[in-house]
C-alpha cells in the first residue's frame, strides 16, 4: 500500500486508479497529503483520450490529455508542497491503461507546476540505490529498420556531452550500438571526469535466428536476446550502476517492451523488430548488478507507450530508480540531469524535469524521519550468523553459488566479484519490501528468504574479509499488421 511511503515521508501525491466499465471505464484521482485525503474526482476515461482497447491500432491517432477539471486539484496540491519539494504520482497496480499517459509531459503544461519537480512513488519500501566514488553506466542504442529511423549517433554524442558537463566524480559510459552507428562512434570520447568505451559489435558472434514474440508471451527470467547477451558477456563481471536504453518501444495488451534490431550486426527486417520485455531486462540488470534502469523513446509516437508500460511493469517487480524519457530530442538534456540528480553530481533539489522518475523519497527528503524497518522482526538469527563464521582462507565457491548471481557463470573472485555479489544481495533484499506483495508469499516465506540472503551476505563478508553492511528492508503484512 503506497500510503506507507506517503505517510512516512509526508508526500503530496496524486494517486491514480482505473475502474473498468461501460464506455471505457473511469479514472479515479485522489489528492493525498501524507496520510490525509484532500480531494477526489472520478472522470470518464474518454476525457483523458483513453480508448476502450489498449492496442497500437487503437492509439495511433489518440489525443492523450488531462481534463481541465484537474487544474483545481493541482492548485490545492501546490499549496501544500513545501519549497523545493516535489509533487508525487502513484499509479495503482493493474492500471496499465493509465501508465500509457505521459503524465509528466502533460502536467508540465500547467504554469502552476512550472517550478515543481514531479516524481513517481516507488513500489518498494527499501531502497537498494547506493552512490560510489566511480559511476559505471551502460548506454544501449538501437534504431531497428522496422521503426521510424532516428539519429542514433547524435543521441550518443549528446549523452556523452551532457554527462561530461555534469559529472562531478568519475564516470565511465559503456556505449553499445549497432554496427552502422559504431563506425561513426568508434572515436567518441568524453571530457572532464567522463570516460567513454564504445564496444565493437563485430568482435562477438551473434545467432541470427531470433524469435519474434509479437504477443510478448515469454515470462521467464533468462537472457536470450543478442543485445542483452552482448552487454552481459562484454562486461564480464564488471559491476554497473545504471543501464539506459535509447530505442523505440512496442506493446501488446498491457505488456511493454524494447524494440531492437535483429542483432547488433544485423538490421535488415523492415517489418518486425525483436522485443525484450521486463523479465529479460530484469535478468540483465541482475547479472550486471545495476540498481537503476532508464529508457529514452526517440519519437513521441504510439511506440513510446510501449516503453512507458515497460517502465511501469518494472516498477512493480524490481526495486531501484527508473527513468523514462519520452519528450523527443527537444528534452533529451533532461536524461543527463536525472542521472546528475541521482548520482549527486549536482547539489540541490530535484529540478523540474519532463521525465518519469521513480525514486525513493529519501532522494529528496532530509532523512529526519524514522526508518520503517523493524529489525526485531527482520534480523538474522544468531544461529544463522554463527554458521557463517568460516575461515577467511575458505574458498568462496564453496560458500556461494556464483551461478545464481546472474547469467554469467565465469565471475572471478576479487573486488569486482564481491561488489557484484553484494549488489545482488541488496537488490534481492529490497525486493522483499514490495508495497503490494503477491498474496501467495506468506510472511514466514518472506522471513526465510530474508534470512537466507543475509546469511549469504555475512558469509561473503567473512570469507573475503570485506564489509558488507545490511540493507534495511521493511516488508508489509495487433499482431498481423507489422509494426509500421
**DSSP structure string for 365-412:** S-S-SPP---HHHHSPPHHHHHHT---TTS-GGGT--GGGGSS-TT--
Q: Provide the CATH number for the domain formed by 3-120 in this structure.
A: 3.30.420
Residue 315's alpha-carbon distances to 261, 357, 443, in angstroms, are: 25, 10, 22
Q: Is the pLDDT of residue 395 over 80?
A: no
DSSP element (H, E) containing 163: helix 152-166
432 close to 449: Cβ distance less than 8 angstroms: yes
User: pLDDT value at position 410?
Assistant: 32
325 close to 332: Cβ distance less than 8 angstroms: yes
Q: Is the pLDDT of residue 405 over 70?
A: no
Residue 359's alpha-carbon distances to 12, 125, 324, 325, in angstroms, are: 15, 11, 12, 14
118 close to 334: Cβ distance less than 8 angstroms: no
For the chain, residues classed under CATH 3.30.420 are 3-120
User: pLDDT value at position 438?
Assistant: 55
User: pLDDT value at position 390?
Assistant: 37
For the chain, residues classed under CATH 3.40.50 are 135-349
User: pLDDT value at position 296?
Assistant: 98
Q: What is the mean pLDDT of residues 371-399?
A: 37
pTM, rounded to two decimals: 0.84
User: pLDDT value at position 469?
Assistant: 44
Question: How far is residue 474's CA from residue 447's CA, in Å, rounded to a whole number?
Answer: 11
Q: Express each pLDDT in 53-109 by its tens digit.
A: 899 999 998 899 999 999 999 999 999 998 889 999 999 988 888 999 999 999 999
Check: CATH 3.30.1560 for 135-349? no
SS3 (DSSP) at 327: coil
Task: Give the E-state strand segments of 99-254 in sequence order.
Answer: 118-120, 135-141, 171-177, 194-199, 242-246, 249-252
Q: Express each pLDDT in 202-238 by its tens digit.
A: 988 887 667 888 889 877 788 999 999 999 999 988 8
Question: How far is residue 447's CA from residue 429's CA, in Å, rounded to a whole number?
Answer: 10
For the chain, state the CA radius of gyration: 22
113 close to 87: Cβ distance less than 8 angstroms: yes
223 close to 280: Cβ distance less than 8 angstroms: yes
Question: How far is residue 311's CA from residue 294's CA, in Å, rounded to a whole number?
Answer: 8
User: pLDDT value at position 465?
Assistant: 63
Q: Indicate the pairing of strand 36-44 with strand 26-33.
A: antiparallel
SS3 (DSSP) at 149: coil
Q: Is the pLDDT of residue 423 over 50?
A: yes
Cell digits of residue 170:
568519475
- What end-to-end distance do the CA atoms of the chain give, in Å? 39
Q: Express each pLDDT in 129-169 by its tens digit.
A: 888 889 999 999 999 999 999 999 999 999 999 999 999 99
DSSP secondary structure letters along 106-148: HHTTSGGGTT--EEEPPSBSS------SSEEEEEEE---TTS-
Amino acid at each position: 500500500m503506497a500510503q506507507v511511503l506517503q505517510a512516512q515521508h509526508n508526500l503530496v501525491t496524486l494517486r491514480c486508479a482505473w475502474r473498468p466499465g461501460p464506455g471505457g471505464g473511469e479514472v479515479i484521482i485522489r489528492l493525498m497529503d501524507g496520510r490525509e485525503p484532500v480531494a477526489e474526482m472520478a472522470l470518464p476515461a474518454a476525457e483523458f483520450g483513453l480508448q476502450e482497447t489498449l492496442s497500437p491500432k487503437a492509439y495511433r491517432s489518440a489525443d492523450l490529455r488531462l481534463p481541465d477539471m484537474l487544474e483545481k486539484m493541482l492548485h490545492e496540491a501546490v499549496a501544500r508542497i513545501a519549497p523545493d519539494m516535489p509533487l508525487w504520482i502513484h499509479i495503482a497496480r493493474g492500471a496499465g491503461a493509465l501508465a500509457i499517459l505521459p503524465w509528466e509531459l502533460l502536467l508540465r503544461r500547467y504554469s502552476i507546476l512550472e517550478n515543481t519537480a514531479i516524481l513517481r512513488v516507488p513500489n518498494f519500501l527499501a531502497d537498494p540505490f547506493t552512490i560510489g566514488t566511480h559511476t559505471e553506466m551502460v548506454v544501449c542504442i538501437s534504431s531497428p529498420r522496422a521503426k521510424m529511423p532516428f539519429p542514433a549517433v547524435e543521441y550518443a554524442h549528446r549523452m556523452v556531452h551532457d554527462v561530461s558537463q555534469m559529472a562531478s566524480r568519475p564516470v565511465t559510459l559503456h556505449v553499445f550500438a549497432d554496427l552502422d552507428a559504431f563506425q561513426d562512434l568508434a572515436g567518441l570520447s568524453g571530457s572532464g571526469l567522463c570516460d567513454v568505451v564504445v564496444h565493437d559489435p563485430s568482435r562477438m558472434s551473434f545467432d541470427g535466428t531470433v524469435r519474434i514474440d509479437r504477443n510478448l508471451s515469454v515470462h521467464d527470467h533468462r537472457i536470450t536476446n543478442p543485445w542483452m547477451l552482448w552487454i552481459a558477456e562484454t562486461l564480464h563481471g564488471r559491476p554497473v550502476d545504471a543501464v539506459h536504453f535509447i530505442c523505440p518501444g512496442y506493446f501488446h495488451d498491457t505488456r511493454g517492451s524494447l524494440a531492437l534490431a535483429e542483432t547488433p550486426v544485423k538490421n535488415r527486417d523492415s517489418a518486425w523488430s525483436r522485443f525484450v520485455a521486463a523479465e529479460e531486462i530484469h535478468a540483465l540488470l541482475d547479472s550486471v548488478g545495476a540498481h537503476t534502469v532508464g529508457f529514452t523513446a526517440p519519437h513521441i509516437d504510439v511506440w513510446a507507450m510501449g516503453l512507458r508500460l515497460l517502465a511501469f511493469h518494472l516498477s512493480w517487480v524490481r526495486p531501484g530508480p527508473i527513468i523514462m524519457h519520452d519528450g523527443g530530442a527537444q528534452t533529451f538534456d533532461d536524461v543527463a540531469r536525472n542521472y546528475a540528480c541521482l548520482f549527486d553530481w549536482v547539489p540541490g533539489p530535484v529540478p523540474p524535469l519532463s521525465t518519469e522518475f521513480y525514486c525513493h523519497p529519501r532522494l529528496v527528503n532530509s532523512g529526519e524521519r524514522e526508518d520503517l524497518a523493524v529489525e526485531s522482526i527482520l534480523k538474522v538469527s544468531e544461529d544463522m550468523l554463527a554458521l557463517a563464521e568460516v575461515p577467511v582462507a575458505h574458498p568462496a565457491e564453496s560458500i556461494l553459488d556464483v551461478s545464481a548471481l546472474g547469467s554469467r557463470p565465469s565471475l572471478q573472485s576479487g573486488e569486482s566479484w564481491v561488489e557484484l555479489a553484494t549488489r545482488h544481495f541488496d537488490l534481492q533484499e529490497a525486493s522483499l519490501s514490495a508495497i503490494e506483495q503477491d498474496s501467495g508469499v506468506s510472511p514466514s516465506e518472506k522471513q526465510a528468504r530474508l534470512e537466507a540472503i543475509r546469511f549469504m551476505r555475512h558469509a561473503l563478508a567473512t570469507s573475503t574479509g570485506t564489509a558488507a553492511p545490511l540493507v534495511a528492508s521493511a516488508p508489509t503484512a495487433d499482431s498481423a499488421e507489422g509494426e509500421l
